[in-house]
Amino acid sequence: MSTKSLTLKVPTNYDEEKPCERVVTTRTAGDGFGMPLIPMQVAGLTIDANNDVPIVVLKEVDGPRVLRIYIGYFEASAIAIELEESVKPARPMTHDLLRSTIEQLGATVSHIAINDLRNNTFYASIFLDREGRQLEVDSRPSDALALALRTGAKILVDERIVDDVRSARRKAKVDLEGQSDSEPEIEAELELDESSETKSAPPSDAPKDKWTEYLEKLDPEDFGKYKM
């Protein structure tokens, strides 16, 4: 069954990983969100059919809540390769190198946390355990997720981030219901239409062979077109 999807004005700076919904918050830089953190898992990847922007889909481990984050193609490929176990690069990729470096230094990845949302941009941290100490490393969510998939580390998300994004989705739905055909497009997406055809990649719930085919067709030169 198809879900309703709106055209979205997509940010061009993929260093700033955006929610799929426009989130309005009064918090300022440095405020953070704090606790509690809820366990989530990478449910898959999809492509916004309107603009070919990759989206990583996170789902609550013991609940129905979902969080979608726009990411770049390079980071999406790093995540997709780990999700699709039958596709492995001949040489270590950046996140493989990061994992090996952490291990060689005698540290382990305890967990990663998407723990802040400022100016409509997600922030994350990687938490390392080494010799009885815990170190926190600032990270983009996509890099933290790619590393978590490679190390088996827990993925945690600040509950208030998820709730803020859900509230924005509900507000967008109300605005859509009262919008006439002549009004401008809303800068929000209610739900991904995973049943519609995408231009570049299969939906997140597609069979593994579909993602295998997609990964095999990726041109590494295309990665240079997107900021890292």
Q: Give 149's contacts (C-beta < 8 A, 6+ positions apart).
A: 42, 79, 82, 83
Which of 74-83, 100-109, 135-144 comes out lowest in average pLDDT?
Answer: 74-83
Which of 22-26, 34-38, 158-162 comes out lowest in average pLDDT?
Answer: 22-26
Which one, of 198, 169, 175, 159, lies nearest residue 62 by Cα?
159
Structure tokens at 57: 């889909």
Task: Return the pLDDT at 215.
Answer: 52
Query: How many whole angstroms separate alpha carbon 102 and alpha carbon 109?
Result: 8
Looking at CATH, the fold of the domain delimited by 37-222 is given as Bifunctional nuclease domain (3.10.690)
Average pLDDT of the residues of the chain: 73
Task: Return the pLDDT at 99.
Answer: 97
> pLDDT-based confidence at 24, cuts 50/70/90?
very low
pTM, rounded to two decimals:
0.67
Query: How many whole angstroms separate alpha carbon 18 and alpha carbon 223?
Result: 19
Task: Return the pLDDT at 25.
Answer: 43
Which one, of 46, 203, 215, 77, lies nearest residue 142 by Cα?
77
Domain ranges of the chain: 37-222
